[in-house]
Amino acid sequence: MKASDIQETLERGNLFDGAILKHGFAPYMRDYDLVAYFARESECLYRFSHCPLIEITTRVADDDWRHSWGDNFINYSEWLKSGSPAGYVWGICESLVYPGAKYIADSRVAQEWTSRWGKPMHEVVIETNAYTLHLVFHDLSIKELKKADPEWVNLPTTSQ
């Protein structure tokens, strides 16, 4: 897939201003899956195929981490019962995608993987309110999901 195809797929998939519900490697550990929810009340699976590199970095401020350390922050009901203390509520179990996905043109890292494997590789950065994802991958597909789809059922749950 060419860079312009990846950019077009990202734009068509509109990975912007939605919420990431789940993400993680597909069960066979080659591709990286991301499930996002949008205002139009649909869930989409973004499959980044042949993914040799995924880096996840927090965007939650240090002070919020310190205030949100307790387990009452990982369960929304428990957080409410504890008086809704200040901090980052991990138990909402989603991350808001903003400003969204950005294709990295002329990525040095993607070029290195392209040289190693002899296949075109790409880099995308996805920013959310909780973390930033850097992915290097070969191809991208987007599929609208229904709760019964195997991709939905088998996708690992991650703590947001």
> Do the domain assignments include residue 160?
no
> Do the domain assignments include residue 98?
yes
Give phi and psi for 80, each to the nearest 5.
-60, -45
Find all residues with CB under 8 Å of 80, minimum gap 6, and list them.
none
Sequence letter at residue 130: A
Q: Give the number of domains in the chain.
A: 1
Query: What does the block give as tokens for 158?
Result: 């991650």
> Do the domain assignments include residue 114?
yes
Q: 86: which DSSP letter?
A: S
Structural domain that includes position 35: 3-154
pTM of the predicted model as reported, rounded to 2 decimal places: 0.85
Q: Which of 69, 80, 83, 89 is nearest to 129 (CA)?
A: 89
> Do the domain assignments include residue 159?
no
- Written as tens digits, the pLDDT of the chain (160 aa) is 678 888 877 777 677 778 999 999 999 999 999 998 876 567 889 999 999 999 999 999 999 999 999 999 999 999 999 999 999 999 999 999 888 889 999 999 999 999 999 999 999 999 999 999 999 999 999 898 876 666 555 554 443 3
